[in-house]
Chains A and B, each alone.
Chain A
Amino acid sequence: MKIIMDGNEVAATSGQTILEVARANGVRIPTLCHNDALEPAAMCRLCTVEVDEGRGPRLVTACNYPLRRDAQVFTNSERVRAGRKLIIEMLYTRCRGSELLEELGREYGADFTRFAPNDKQCIMCGLCARVCERVGGKTLTLSGRGVEITVATAFDRASEFCIACGACARICPVQTIKMIDEDGERRILVQGREASRVKLIECVSCGKRFGPVLDLKEINERAGDSKVPPPNQGVCPECSRRNLAARMAERHFEQFETGEEG
């Protein structure tokens, strides 16, 4: 299989996506909805490139297009750039002020004045919903259809299945999802709306709240035995560390004394 990317022959194995091949060969293709840990969803279409497998150039998304035969790939052609510019301009109307989009806008010569703002603080990349599904949280999904599609919990109620892992807040490219630990609870906020509220465990040692209470059977089953030794259960990681250090010091000290005597 011979792959020519932007004029240069590059190394590739059959079945690799264009994006994987590009990255391995130092070619940058912009993405918004891609994350290596998740199945590609090809929603943002920003990674669109032109590929010619002998039957003329076609537009495909790099993040999920598998290369299987000889191909020429054009990652930055005029058509590709024109499309990316429009995607960035249109997504910016949903999420004004996003540094990520402004940066991309500079790269593609976007004109952010062309379209009226339509602020939703969300670029609809779907990453939060997909990571939630992957983690097993069953909390965030893409809800509704058409232009009204949103990220939401079931029936827009605070979820009972959230494990408060915070993966959604971490993965969101425009920082719309917030995770707040306050008053003994962890809250996940999506566009200011409460997606879940989970109790935090109080450390039996220092009294600090340190992690979500997990009494979801399915998640506990999936996680299996946590291998945390009994003395450390219910103790925050900081206290665990301090207690262990104290115990070690104690043991060491006793040993030293015994040694003196012996």
Chain B
Amino acid sequence: MSFLSLDAINKSFAGVPVMRDATLAVREGEFMAVLGPSGCGKSTLLQIAAGLLPPSAGTVRIAGRAITAPPPEAVYVFQQYTRSLLPWRSVRDNVAFATEHRLGKRRARAIAEETLAQVGLSGFGDHFPWQLSGGMQQRVAIARALAAEPAILLLDEPFSAVDALTRLDLHALFLDIWSRRKLTVMLVTHDVEEAIYLADRIALLTYRPSSISEIFEVGLPRPRDPITTRALPQFLELRQTLLQKLLARPDA
């Protein structure tokens, strides 16, 4: 029933506790957003969920299995998207990165072209990452994750570097792909409106040592519209509640 479950996750860095008993269950096909102030441990939590970082205590389960290494079902998209791309590879080969080890270079490149078209980057396959703008590089990173066709996507602030309009485009693209592919998504963000607009539920992280303090049902109808959905009373109400909770923190 829950596809990804984080059970009493604790994490310390060099003895300093950063996370205490964080527990969260993401259902299959659900769009879950994790909201929290900067530095509270959102990336840490997501990397633990991805099997990239071992928790100090607690278990991560994906599709029922306890994991200790990155599982084949999940792909993590880095907050440091620029650093996650290979500077010596063309954009096409950077996206082929996702599948080349399973399908071979040729097939992987063909998939890469299709995925690049989906994120609005057709024609840029031969460019190198450093020849693209920050927002375009971010889309390359997103395309790379999509090309892998994971069952669950773990997104670490994937829309932070794009301008407001491109962000709306990418939101639409994401919602479209999410609903068509029946993906499960866990999205980390500090943008309240983005969380409400995209997610089914929103988990709130407390400040360090952090844990999940509350979970909100968004409950807005789908398909969502970038303009009308944001004007719904339900949207505005939730936005107010969440902002109050976030601003109420003494050290936020």
Q: Do A and B come from one complex?
A: no
Binding site for B on A (CB under 8 A): none
